Amino acid sequence: MAVGDLHGDFEATLAVLRVAGLIDSAGHWSGGKTVLVQTGDQLDRAGGEEEILKLLAQLEVDAPKAGGRLVVLNGNHETMNVLGDFRYVTEDALDDFTGAEPVSPFAKSVTGPFRDRARAFLPGGQMAVALAHRPVVAQVNDTVFVHAGVRDAHVKDGLASLNREVQAFFRGETARPPAGMVDSEGPLWTRIYGGPELSSAVCAELVTTLAQLGAKRLVVGHTVQSAGITSACDERVFRIDVGLSRAYGKNAPEALEIRGSAVKILRARVPG
């Protein structure tokens, strides 16, 4: 099961997890042996970030007790916060991470309204360290999950090494972010798979990329699909960011279900 961008909307997060049948009315894991992948961008645009992070952290603990698993990816908005780019932080989220420990050593010069957030999210801070255990790219069976997309060059450069390099930067162990973390065409930022029509060249590259990974399909978020989850390249790529956060007008929640070779879109029931 996969769900896309959450962007600070806690109620929408609960709603999409219930559509997927993964939590009960009290917010506890009810997904049994299901593997859930959340493709990044829990942060920014709305004020429920702290609640979302706490819920996902608890589900990461609870799911394995039932034989399931939760894989949470870092998206471009998680990396933006670790880089100190707070332009999408909303006013109602400014005080959520006050008093976080340890304090990032890179936050000493930050003053003003983002001081506490910088202390928590810059490299080595409590939230950056918490996010550091997450991958940027994950593969579950024959499906590859990433926030924005993987291309042939990314595979050749090494996806496992990118995960390690990003995690080391989040922990404050390296001074510079890895190129793959900030590249506009990198796995966290590219929009090559997000458009309504993908060229034959893009699809051909995707075929090559998936073959190198021994995978059948790619699942991405990042680019809002206002009409709901879409696929392209003969269902080799699924785009699951449906703009469910109220920041986008709060579209109906949807989740992607993968059972063997069968892929199904789960949508919230519309009353009436």
Region of residue 217 (left: phi > 0; alpha: psi -120 to 50; beta: else): beta
CB count in 10 Å sphere of residue 153 = 13
| Secondary structure (H, E, C), 82-97 | HCCCCCCCCHHHCCCC
Rounded-to-integer distance, Cα 232 and Cα 210, Å: 14
- Picking from 221, 220, 226, the residue whose alpha carbon sits closest to that of residue 252 is 226
Which of 7, 28, 77, 147 is catalytic? The answer is 77
- Picking from 60, 120, 54, 47, the residue whose alpha carbon sits closest to that of residue 84 is 120
- Picking from 221, 230, 255, 228, the residue whose alpha carbon sits closest to that of residue 22 is 255
Widest CA span of the chain, in angstroms?
A: 56
Task: Reply yes or no on whether 28 is catalytic.
Answer: no
Q: Give the SS3 label for residue 186.
A: coil
Annotated catalytic residues are 77
